[in-house]
Amino acid sequence: MASHRRPKQPSRTRVTVLTATAAAAVALSSQAAQAAPKPSKEDVKAKVDKLYEEAEQATEKYNGAKAKQDKLKEQVDDLQDKVARGQEDLNKLRDGLGSMATAQYRSGGIDPSVQLLLSSDPDEYLDKASTLDQLSGKQAVALKQIGDKQRTLKQQRAEATTKLQDLAETRKSLGEKKKDIQGKLAKAQALLNTLTAQERQALAEKEERANRSNDRVDLGDDVPESQRAAAALAAAKTKIGSPYVWGATGPSSFDCSGLTSWAYAQAGVQLPRTSQEQANAGTHLGQGQLKPGDLVLFYGDLHHIGLYAGNGQVLHAPKPGANVRYESINNMPFMYGVRV
């Protein structure tokens, strides 16, 4: 017969110990929460600025991939156009050869010696025979042209296939770099969202003051070394106040290399797309050699660029959330200048 015993109840001592342990755990977690204070506004700003810098590094990589994609697309289009025209030419050559072969067959159906014996006008026959010899010569030329055209088309098709593969890989890389930029900007925004409304307002006002400082900047008396440098700087000045947008090349928004390439384009000079490529677009200069309109490169990997404006001031598109503006050259780690 089965036994039906009531489960043994925990002792009062055991309950007391469990309760005390739970209370201690709650207290420890509360203390841990208190031990991790909320980051200050300055800490958040420093982290956000670092993320913006990393986003700009990613932006220049994106710009390089975008420029490569555009170039590959142009090359692929050109090759495909050449292949289409070449195929059309090949078809015409084949049609021409076919016409010659047909004509030769019709006039050469009887053995030439028999044709000569039967001909009522030997002179006329000899004239026709000469024409047939010329026709055979043309056939040989046509066959060579067809062979050359076929080899060219094969080469162009192979080149187009390779370029298309490169284009597909570049587009994939472009998507990854875009995702990287968006991820860093999202992290920066999430950090800003941890601040109070008052703290965010204070940061926004500080940024706005930096944007408005253009009205009071002293650019000194230095003059550009060339007309193109003067024209580029003058063009860039008309864009003061335009927003920074990653990947943008104007005319209403810019990233750093987008501004410099746009400005020099207005002076009739085509610069490469990225800051790293623009770094080799002219003669390298030390800080003491800079003149207005020269390019200025910052950071060890050269991921930021601007235009020297004079008196230690740089005109540039600084970062997300900021406008095109003047800023001290000493606010960033200067590498070297470039005179285009």
List residues with catalytic annotation: 256, 304, 316
Please state, in angstroms and as integers, the Cα–Cα distance from residue 260 to each residue in 120, 304, 314, 325, following that order. 86, 11, 12, 13
Query: What are the start-end ranges of the H helices in the chain?
Result: 12-35, 41-107, 112-118, 122-192, 197-212, 227-237, 256-266, 275-278
The rounded distance, in Å, linking the Cα atoms of 225 and 21 is 78
φ, ψ of residue 222 in degrees (nearest 5) = -65, 150
- Judging by DSSP bridges, how do beta strands 283-285 and 304-310 pair with one another? unpaired
Q: Cα torsion for 184, 336, 328, 178, to the nearest 10°? A: -20
φ, ψ of residue 15 in degrees (nearest 5) = -60, -45
Please state, in angstroms and as integers, the Cα–Cα distance from residue 172 to each residue in 15, 176, 184, following that order. 61, 6, 19
Query: What are the start-end ranges of the H helices in 36-121?
Result: 41-107, 112-118
The rounded distance, in Å, linking the Cα atoms of 104 and 92 is 18
Q: Which two tokens stand for residue 103?
A: 């004509």
φ, ψ of residue 338 in degrees (nearest 5) = -135, 125
The rounded distance, in Å, linking the Cα atoms of 298 and 296 is 7
Helix (H, G, I), strand (E, B) or coil at 3: coil
Please state, in angstroms and as integers, the Cα–Cα distance from residue 36 to each residue in 40, 194, 305, 328, following that order. 12, 14, 39, 36
The residue whose two tokens read 């046509």 is 142
